[in-house]
Amino acid sequence: MQLTQFRAPLLAALSFGTLLGPLLGQDKATAAGNVDMTGLPAFLLPVPAGTVDVGLDWQQLFEAACQVANPSAPKEAVKRAAEKLFTSLKLEVRTLGRKKTEVPAFLLAKAPVKNSEYEPYVRASAGKVRMPLHWWMVGRKDDFEKRREEIDKQFPKQKRAFLLYWDANYKELPYALKDDKGEPIDDLPVTMISWRDANDFAGSLGMRLPTEAELTRASRGDSDNIWPSDKPDGGAKFSNALLETLRIAEGKDMTLKPVGGGMAGPYGHTDLHGHIWQFVANLGFAPINGNELYATQWKEIGKDAKSVKQLAELKEPEWRADKVIAKGGAYNASQAPTMLLIDARRPCQVDDTLEMLGFRLAKSMKPGYDMIFSRLQGTYNRNWFGEEQEPDLGAQFGAERYDLGDNGFPTAYHGVSFAPINFLSKEKSTELNKLVEKSQLSPMLVGTLVITTPLAEPAAPAGIYTLLYRHSGVPKELIEAVKQGHKMLTDKKKKDDKDKDQATQDKERKWREVVTRFGLTDDDIAGKEAADGTLKFVRIEGMQVPIADPMFLLYGNDGKVAATWKASAPKAVAAPMVGALTMEAGESGKTKAKLHFTTVALQGAKKHAEFVVEFVLDMAAPTPEKPWRQSTATPAK
């Protein structure tokens, strides 16, 4: 088994364009922000669809840096505050490259996630999720102090031995939501968690991290503001009044504060700036709107450098595909206020756990979309994926339901989400029936399925799976190999003959290669019923798979097939269809899920395969009081 992280093709597939692309075809009510919030957490506030400027051009950035360096006379900044000016520019040249970007309507949490909202997730994980470092190191300082000798012994001569110790032993460590004075930190934003931690938490709630463009839209709205403002036209220039509004003007204010008390953005979201840096969904630190726009703006610096010689000192950022981005600026931004620019961005490692770094939740309008998006950010076993094959998030569909606590925060999330594969085969001329027949040799990859609730029929635990299809029957070469193997294994003389001639050895090697490829053993083919090549099953990744009927298979992250169940053969259709998932009462009184979708049969061709998949969740059937939000089938245009 090989567990792989996000590889390059999937990184591209989950770029901002692909994340938002499937959501652009929304109805007019959704686009206008008239969102039906029935059953959804109330802390999610709608952000209406619209076009927003993302990034800065050189003149905008230079003027903003001059405003910060010398607020009373920005035009004199080069002469009077050159060092401060260029410090600001060095930090923010990574914002260069302005572009109008269309952002579909989405939901964004009113405030960052706080400690009291993250703690139940840690507790429920039973040691699988790390608690934030300070919950132990500060909240349980007594335990931390007791372990100092043990920490130094386990990680001798390490500068950050306590950090390494926490990462290695967090399952055994106690924690408490208290600061160094013993005061509760329940309402402070959760920090000291990694980008991967944040994605996993978001996915567990059927949500995700917002994209960089989404946070920009939530902060800028329909305005041209460069700086955050609670007024549509109030963010054109920097002033110390902004620091006062954000409550970071004085030294005593430079600390974490309870969420929800900061300045509100145009759609009611608080703490967007000057509180904590906030992770975004995008993986990869690259020019904000591509290399071409960035290069154009970088040349503009060169033009001004002829008259302002200090500009020649500016260096381009080190772009890194393995880094992530945080936005918003933290409570120490008064020391370098350009961090408060709406377009400001900070590169981070995916495993950074910092006191000023947290996140807020976002949600798309498509049921189940965010759950699968977030899960694909983590570890996903891709052993069945061929070259260029990816989960097609543009064709994703799903169903979801929340259980909400008294505080409006989810106590449970129930979801089913499926993304069909972007194509079944790279072959150019093969008909679907031929592809189906080949699945007898090797199961056909159909898509990615995520379930939060265990399955009852077939029995399988919750998790992320690859869905495979295997057609009924077996190929002729296996039938012949079984016959030959049976004959040799039941002929004691031939079986025990140590001096077999070369021809007999070659014959045995060939049939063994075939039966081994199908997971069969000598015992499987030595029975009487195998004399004429008859079989009842083959083995795939350790699981016995019946061959009398077409079968679906669930392939898990552990490299094994978790379940199999009867399938209907796919049908060839001319037109694609956006998938549908219906949740209804099954015969057992539990929830029955029915998936209906198409996927491209041959890469680059207009041929499609239509699938119907049914299974039963191990949970009570839906009721009018507890309905599901679910996708509906829509013919492609």
Over the stretch 171-219, which tens digit does the pLDDT of each residue have? 999 999 999 999 999 999 999 999 999 999 998 999 999 999 999 999 9
> What's the rounded mean pLDDT across residues 443-451?
97
What pLDDT is stored for residue 233 in this prediction?
Answer: 78
- Omega of the bond leading into 458 within 30 degrees of 0 (cis): yes
What pLDDT is stored for residue 438 in this prediction?
Answer: 94
Spans of all domains in the chain:
8-111+192-363, 125-172, 381-473+547-635, 476-534
Distance CA 45, CA 37 (A): 9
Better-scored residue on pLDDT, 604 or 521: 521
pLDDT band at 105 (very low <50, low <70, confident <90, very high): very high
Min mean pLDDT across 235-239, 330-334, 511-515 is at 235-239
Let me know: does 19 contact 183? Beta carbons within 8 Å.
no
- Residue 582 confidence (pLDDT) above 50: yes
What pLDDT is stored for residue 339 in this prediction?
Answer: 95
In 295-452, DSSP assigns E strands to 320-327, 346-349, 357-358, 362-363, 397-404, 410-420, 444-451
Class of domain 8-111+192-363 (CATH, top level): alpha beta
Distance CA 354, CA 475 (A): 57
Q: Tell which residue, 1, 20, 11, 24, has the closest CA to residue 637.
A: 24
What pLDDT is stored for residue 498 in this prediction?
Answer: 63
What pLDDT is stored for residue 637 in this prediction?
Answer: 45
- What is the maximum alpha-carbon separation in the chain? 102
Percent of the chain with pLDDT over 70: 92
Distance CA 231, CA 483 (A): 81
Distance CA 364, CA 61 (A): 31
Let me know: does 79 contact 86? Beta carbons within 8 Å.
no
Distance CA 297, CA 197 (A): 35
Better-scored residue on pLDDT, 134 or 602: 134
- Residue 32 confidence (pLDDT) above 50: no
Residue written as tokens 């031995």? Answer: 161
Mean pLDDT of the chain: 89
Residues listed for the chain = 637
What are the C-alpha distances in Å from 217 to residues 21, 48, 329, 367, 397? 16, 9, 16, 22, 25
Min mean pLDDT across 59-68, 403-412, 586-595 is at 403-412
What pLDDT is stored for residue 371 in this prediction?
Answer: 93
pLDDT band at 494 (very low <50, low <70, confident <90, very high): low
Q: Which residues pair with 420 in a beta bridge?
A: 447
Structure tokens at 227: 């700086």
What pLDDT is stored for residue 33 in this prediction?
Answer: 52
Better-scored residue on pLDDT, 382 or 12: 382
Structure tokens at 364: 């798309």
CA 525, 531, 536, 539 torsion: positive or negative?
A: positive
Distance CA 495, CA 485 (A): 10
What pLDDT is stored for residue 603 in this prediction?
Answer: 85
pLDDT digits (tens, 9 = 90+) for 269-315: 999 999 999 999 988 999 999 999 999 999 999 888 888 888 888 99
- Residue 16 confidence (pLDDT) above 70: no
Residue written as tokens 């006191």? Answer: 355
Which 3 state secondary structure label does DSSP give 200? helix
What pLDDT is stored for residue 576 in this prediction?
Answer: 79
What pLDDT is stored for residue 475 in this prediction?
Answer: 93
DSSP 229-269: -SSTT--SS--HHHHHHTT-SSGGG-S---TT-S-B-TTS-
pTM attached to this predicted model: 0.83
Amino acid at 250: E
What pLDDT is stored for residue 228 in this prediction?
Answer: 95
Distance CA 452, CA 205 (A): 10
Let me know: does 616 contact 593? Beta carbons within 8 Å.
yes
pLDDT digits (tens, 9 = 90+) for 110-124: 999 999 999 999 999
Let me know: does 339 contact 330? Beta carbons within 8 Å.
yes
Amino acid at 527: G
- Residue 500 confidence (pLDDT) above 90: no
What pLDDT is stored for residue 31 in this prediction?
Answer: 46
- Residue 461 confidence (pLDDT) above 90: yes
What pLDDT is stored for residue 308 in this prediction?
Answer: 85
What pLDDT is stored for residue 499 in this prediction?
Answer: 66
